[in-house]
Amino acid sequence: MVENKKITLGQRLREKYRISVLNEKTLTEQWHLHLSGWGVIVVVGAMFLIALALFSLVILYTPIRNYLPGYSENIRQQLIEESARLDSMGTSLEMQRQYLDIIKQVVAGEMQSDTVHSLDSMQIIMREQLLEAKSEATAEFIAQYEAKEKNNMQLFENIHNISNPVNVFFVPVHGAIAEHFSVQEKHYGIIINTLDNENIASVLDGVVIYVNQEVNDVYTLMVKHSDYLSIYRGVKKSLKQVGDYVRAGECIGIAGENQMGFELWKNDEAINPENVIAF
């Protein structure tokens, strides 16, 4: 008996195979190809790599890439830029149209030439009107608060006229103390939770020596008294300027709907405001 020898996988991959193309009518061989198992794997792998390369090129250089993750941000940025450019062009066309309408009215005699303003001048006039309106609103706002504090100031003046032998501290702003004075934590003042549009008062008679608008659109004020220096932080609106003399209890600013910081110094040394002011 002849024993069947087992054929390993490596031997099968090395065996040669013939692929022939025959003429259907004459059955003559037109073309043939010799391949082994390894050859088939190499050919199939090469075809796969070529197909993968072609597929990558199609994705990278055609609009199909816009559907891939990450490319949508680029499209969004382009749309924003194009929208801004289109809006600018629309504004320019509208200005040109207005310019041509004015010329037509002047030529037709419907408008006197001395009443025509250039478009740039018209824009400047509009800006000036907006600034004037804003200034009037600001002045009205300040006048309302000054009128509101007028009666209080008369009371303060009467108190000063009667007697003021010692420093009587007024409460800088009405509210609840959120953070207390602490030298150990280098917190040289207190933080007061206050309501929006609450009046901020000078604690003593003095002169405003510092008014500055911070990055977050709030003001810091400093008032120099005879022996003391008071600092008001987080002021929404300042009603005083550097050099203004203020009386004790006089409104110097408006608090926002937030926290206001208050510090009190004497002879370059921070003191606890709660020790001298009845909050």
Give per-residue pLDDT as tens, 247-275.
998 999 999 877 899 999 998 899 999 99
Q: Which domain holds residue 14?
A: 9-60
Record the tokens describing residue 191, joined without a space.
Answer: 């933080």
pTM of the model: 0.45
66: in domain: no
- Beta pairing partners, 219: 213, 235
220: in domain: yes
Higher per-residue pLDDT: 116 or 228: 228
The pLDDT of residue 71 is above 90? no
266: in domain: yes
**Are 203 and 211 a contacting pair, CB within 8 Å?**
no
CA 213 → CA 4, 238, 279, distances in Å? 99, 9, 27
How much is the pLDDT for 162?
Answer: 43
- Three-state SS string over 94-141 comes to HHHHHHHHHHHHHHCCCCCHHHCCCHHHHHHHHHHHHHHHHHHHHHHH
- Residue-wise pLDDT for 190-216, tens only, equals 999 998 888 999 999 999 999 988 877
What amino acid occupies position 240? K
67: in domain: no
Higher per-residue pLDDT: 85 or 223: 223
Alpha-carbon gap, residue 76 to 111, rounded angstroms: 46
- Residue-wise pLDDT for 117-168, tens only, equals 454 555 555 666 666 665 666 667 666 666 665 555 554 555 454 444 456 7
- Residue-wise pLDDT for 22-52, tens only, equals 887 887 877 877 777 777 788 888 999 999 9
127: in domain: no
| Domain CATH for 196 | 2.70.70.10
The pLDDT of residue 93 is above 80? yes
116: in domain: no
205: in domain: yes
Number of domains within the chain: 2
The pLDDT of residue 115 is above 60? no
State the chain's mean pLDDT as an integer: 78
**Are 178 and 262 a contacting pair, CB within 8 Å?**
no
How much is the pLDDT for 59?
Answer: 78
40: in domain: yes
